Chains A and B, each alone.
Chain A
Amino acid sequence: MNSIILRTGTVFILPLLLLVSVVILLRGHNEPGGGFVGGLTAATAMLLHMLAFGPKEARKLLPIGPEAMIGVGLLLALFSGIPAMFAGLPAFKALWTDFEPVQGVKFSTPLIFDVGVYLTVAGVVILIIFSIAEYRGHRAIDAQHASDARAREEAS
């Protein structure tokens, strides 16, 4: 899509959307919101950027690939269950501290879990969007299969 209005608008809306997604993530534990919705919102921001500037530019915007995002997100979610085990409690017992990184949000293992969910959901949706946008079509994939088969035949 080549529209100057969309491009200019995206430049302003993208940071706003990402900020909103973080707000949704942080208010999640006690109020409507949370990692899942926040992740979806963040992915929407990426979708908007991709529509305006194309998938190549959108990929440049991401510090890590969507696959790694899923991995890191799951790692955080899994990690949130570990501290309880060191305290001799069952895995995934929620532990809370009084430290508030943001006003009204206590640092805790559920917060780590939610951040993990946020990254995972955002990563999955972005990966789906990229896969659709970068799809080369049936013919290209069939050609790839054929050349793979030829290479195998020649080698054997």
Chain B
Amino acid sequence: MTAQLLASLPLLVPMTGLVLCLVFWRWVALQRGVMVGVALSLSATAVALLLRTTGGEVLAVRLGDWPAPMAITLVVDQTAAIMVLLTAVVAVACTLFSLGGIDRTREHSAYYALLCGLFAAVCGAFTTNDLFNLYVWFEVMLMSSFVLLSLGGRRAQIEGAIKYVTLNLISSTLFLAAIGLTYAMLGTLNMADMAERLAAAENPGQFTPVAAIFLVAFAIKSASFPFFYWLPASYHTPPSVISAVFAGLLTKVGIYVMIRFFGLMFPASHPDAGMIYHIILWLGGFSMVTGVLSAAAQMEIRRILSVHIISQIGYMLMGLGIAGSALHRAANDGDPGGVLAGAAALALAGTIFHIAHNMVVKVNLFLVAGTVERICGSGDLNRIGGLYAARPGLAALFLIPALSLAGIPVLSGFWSKFLLVRAGLVAEAYVIIGVSLFVSVLTLFSMIKIWIYAFWKPAPENAEPHNPDRDPTVGPMRWQYAGSLFLTCVTILIGVFANQAIRAARIGADQLIEPRAYLDAAMDRAGEPASADPASAGEGVAR
């Protein structure tokens, strides 16, 4: 299969699904079939992409065949391929869960079409190299998630949806303003082109204030400190599978874009790189602490999990911050190949690994929370209990991702935290390491709290009798278990085959640190000799 076709498939597959779902508006069974097809073909595409990019090859397609800096280019390197693969994993699990767990009213209200739209937007954001196109995918993501949030129209949902869309529109406005400034300043919105023009610029520091606006916009999207307020207000209101998709994908897109954007615009040689990554490191530290502390105060499963997203985002920011600062220091010391550079690669690999692990685990926990709510009729920890005795299988499905989230060895969460901490030790970022380990303990506390209240303690006596298997508005329970089981297997597999997973993340990290192949692919310079210095790269732009 040609590279161009393969690189455009992550976008085309879910978009085709979206269209087919709308064409089959009246036939919900067909829509379900389309959704299953989308999830499976997206997985196949992602695996193909991952195998193609493992050798360091970067796939690119210039949509519409316009010349290089003008075209909207979709570029897939190892990191993007990993992200698309994880999106596909989330798609498979959530499709399985939806077959059993989503009510018929929502299915008749374009639920599957919206889900496909969301996956298309996420894949678009992961692969696009054009800043304005990225903005468009953010908007598509925002619109489909807004409708998914408010489908059903309960009071709490509408309230959450309004907060969600308003606060995210602030982010979009900032993003758009920064895009306008960027275009005025650099004359291009192709991120590879931007990076090369900045590298060749006489005074690259002029771009830093604009980058600060981008940072705020992406920080709102990724729900990091101090811009996380929209997340706890909305994530617990829709059905659990919808929260699961949001929790798995939306904030991670913000983090991924941050890594991509700052990795390209602020390489180690940039004079302001030290400051930018230092700010990111601080944001990460505060996100971790505030997230985990507010989670400890919650008493409802899905609220605990929602707020925990913020603390997990902190780990990802921490990895990016450590990597950027270490690279900057290595460049300043005149030792770009030394120990610090190795630590940076390790930290970035840890970040990629942590995003991957977190997408799987978080989605799974939300799905299990949905099953718990269906069985007990509530997610309030005071009103439920006795699930370990009643449903031991469900207890196992909860325990594995919960322990993985807390970072218990062998499971996936341990390896990502191990990579981050190790990188931090080499880079001598002791404070943030201390904070992250302390946050890990508190994470374990929150998970054990859910375990004790929902699974161990006997069911409260005033709990109303409830038969989840005979609810006519939703499908059979076994599909819900299938979704959770699939993700649990993925978690265990990531933990067992950690070596391979780390190697893939490491290739991705190396490509992010040394983006020559990415830039060449995005600027359509394949086959030409690699340009030696930024000045000749500038000539390539003029041509």
Contacts and interface: CB of A to CB of B under 8 A. Distances in A.
A74 B65 contact: no
A71 B16 CA distance: 10
Nearest to A94: B64
Contacts of A103: none
Contact of A90 (B4, B18, B105, B466): B4
Interface string A48-84: 0000000000000000010110111011001001001
Interface residues of B, number: 28
Given A74-B18, A156-B466, A156-B471, A90 B64 contact: yes
Contacts of A102: none
Interface string B10-42: 001001101111111100000000000000000
Contacts of A74: 18-19, 22
Contacts of B55: none
Interface string A90-104: 111110000000000
B417 interface: no
Nearest to B472: A155
A153 to B, nearest CB: 10
B18 A68 contact: no
B65 A156 contact: no
B274 to A, nearest CB: 39
B16 A78 contact: yes
Contacts, number: 66
A93 to B, nearest CB: 4
B2 interface: yes
B473 A152 contact: yes
A78 B61 contact: no
Contact of B470 (A71, A81, A156): A156
The dominant DSSP class at the B interface is: helix
B22 A71 contact: yes
A85 B8 CA distance: 10
B308 interface: no
Given A155-B470, A155-B472, A91 B25 contact: no
B63 A151 contact: no
B21 to A, nearest CB: 8
A91 B467 CA distance: 51
B5 interface: yes
A77 to B, nearest CB: 8
A91 B12 contact: yes
A106 B50 CA distance: 41
A155 B61 CA distance: 53
A151 B19 CA distance: 33
A93 B15 contact: no
A75 B23 CA distance: 8
A65 B25 CA distance: 10
Nearest to B468: A156
A62 B2 CA distance: 42
Contacts of A94: 64
B23 A71 contact: yes
Contacts of B8: 85, 90-91
Interface string A125-156: 00000000000000001000000100110011
Contacts of B20: 71, 75
A90 B65 contact: yes
B302 interface: no
B19 A75 contact: yes
Interface string B37-78: 000000000000000000000000111110000000000000
Contacts of B153: 141
A106 to B, nearest CB: 18
A71 B471 contact: no
Given A151-B472, A156-B471, A91 B23 contact: no
A156 B467 contact: yes
Interface in B457-486: 466-467, 470-473
A32 interface: no
B4 A71 contact: no
B471 A152 contact: yes
A19 interface: no
Contact of A91 (B21, B61, B470, B471): B61
Given A152-B473, A156-B467, A71 B19 contact: yes
A93 B15 CA distance: 17
Contacts of A20: none
Contact of A152 (B25, B63, B472): B472
A111 B62 CA distance: 21
B378 to A, nearest CB: 14
B4 A70 contact: no
Contacts of B62: 90
A89 interface: yes
Contacts of B16: 78
B25 A93 contact: no
A93 B64 contact: yes
B63 A72 contact: no
Interface centre among B22, B25, B62, B466 (most CB of A within 10 A): B22
Nearest to B61: A90
Nearest to A76: B19
A85 to B, nearest CB: 6
Contacts of A141: 153
A92 B133 CA distance: 15
Given A85-B5, A152-B472, A155-B472, A92 B64 contact: yes
Given A93-B64, A94-B64, A67 B22 contact: yes
Contacts of A70: 22
Interface centre among A81, A90, A141 (most CB of B within 10 A): A90
Interface of B: 2, 4-5, 8, 12, 15-16, 18-25, 61-65, 105, 153, 466-467, 470-473
Given A67-B25, A71-B24, A92-B64, 9 more contacts: A70-B22, A74-B22, A75-B20, A85-B8, A89-B65, A152-B473, A155-B470, A155-B472, A156-B467
30 contacts: A67-B22, A67-B25, A68-B22, A68-B25, A71-B19, A71-B20, A71-B21, A71-B22, A71-B23, A71-B25, A74-B19, A78-B12, A78-B16, A78-B19, A84-B65, A85-B5, A88-B2, A90-B61, A90-B64, A91-B4, A91-B5, A91-B12, A91-B61, A91-B64, A93-B64, A148-B105, A151-B472, A155-B472, A156-B470, A156-B471
Which are the 8 A-B pairs with shortest beta-carbon distances? A71-B22, A71-B23, A93-B65, A67-B25, A74-B19, A92-B64, A91-B8, A90-B65
